[in-house]
A and B are shown apart, each in its own frame.
Chain A
Amino acid sequence: MSMDRREFLKIAGSSTFLATIGIGAGWILSRPGEFLEASQFSQTKELMKAKQWAMVVDMRKFKTEEDYKKIINACHKIHNVPDFGNPKDEIKWIWSETFDHAFPGQENEFMPEQMKHKPFILLCNHCENPPCVRVCPTKATFKRKDGITMQDLHRCIGCRYCMAACPFGARSFNYRDPRPFIKEPNPEYPTRMIGVVEKCTFCEERLAKGQMPACVEASNGALTFGDITDPNSEVRKLLNANYTVRRKAELGTRPVVYYILDIPTSVVPGGEGNV
Chain B
Amino acid sequence: MYDAGKIILGIVVFVLFATFPFYNNAGKVSAKPEPKLDTPVIQQLTEKKCVESKEFMKAEHMQLLNDWRDSAIREGKRVYINSEGKEFKISLQNTCMNCHSNKKEFCDKCHNYAAVKPYCWTCHIEPKEKQL
Contacts and interface: CB of A to CB of B under 8 A. Distances in A.
A29 interface: no
Given A154-B69, A187-B93, A43 B76 contact: yes
Contacts of A152: 69, 73-74
Contact of A153 (B63, B90, B93, B123): B123
A192 B122 CA distance: 7
B67 to A, nearest CB: 6
Nearest to B120: A190
A36 B77 contact: no
B75 A41 contact: yes
A47 B76 contact: yes
A39 B81 CA distance: 8
B76 A40 contact: no
Contact of A192 (B73, B76, B123): B123
A41 B73 contact: no
A185 interface: yes
A84 B67 CA distance: 34
Contacts of A41: 67, 71, 75, 77, 79-81, 90
B38 interface: no
B125 to A, nearest CB: 5
Interface stretch (A140-148, A163-171, A226-234): A140-148
A43 B93 contact: no
Contact of A145 (B56, B76, B119, B123): B76
B125 A191 contact: yes
A190 B127 CA distance: 12
Q: Among the interface residues A40, A80, A145, which one has the most CB atoms of the partner chain B within 10 A?
A: A40
B82 interface: yes
A44 B94 contact: no
A187 B126 CA distance: 8
B93 A40 contact: no
Interface string A187-206: 11111110000000000100
A42 interface: yes
Interface in A65-99: 80
Interface string A143-161: 0111000101110000000
A141 B2 CA distance: 64
Interface in B38-90: 52-53, 56, 59-60, 63-64, 67, 69, 71, 73-83, 87, 89-90
A273 interface: no
B28 interface: no
Nearest to A209: B78
A43 B76 CA distance: 7
A40 B81 contact: yes
Contact of A190 (B63, B74, B125): B125
A36 B83 CA distance: 9
Interface in B101-117: none
A250 interface: no
B10 to A, nearest CB: 45
A36 B127 CA distance: 28
Nearest to B87: A42
Q: Among the interface residues B56, B76, B87, B94, which one has the most CB atoms of the partner chain A within 10 A?
A: B76
A44 B79 CA distance: 6
B120 to A, nearest CB: 9
A36 B63 contact: yes
Given A41-B79, A142-B74, 4 more contacts: A44-B78, A145-B76, A187-B128, A192-B123
10 contacts: A34-B60, A40-B82, A41-B67, A42-B81, A44-B89, A47-B76, A150-B73, A154-B73, A187-B128, A190-B93
Q: Which 8 A-B pairs have the closest CB atoms?
A: A193-B122, A41-B77, A41-B71, A190-B123, A42-B79, A190-B124, A152-B73, A40-B81
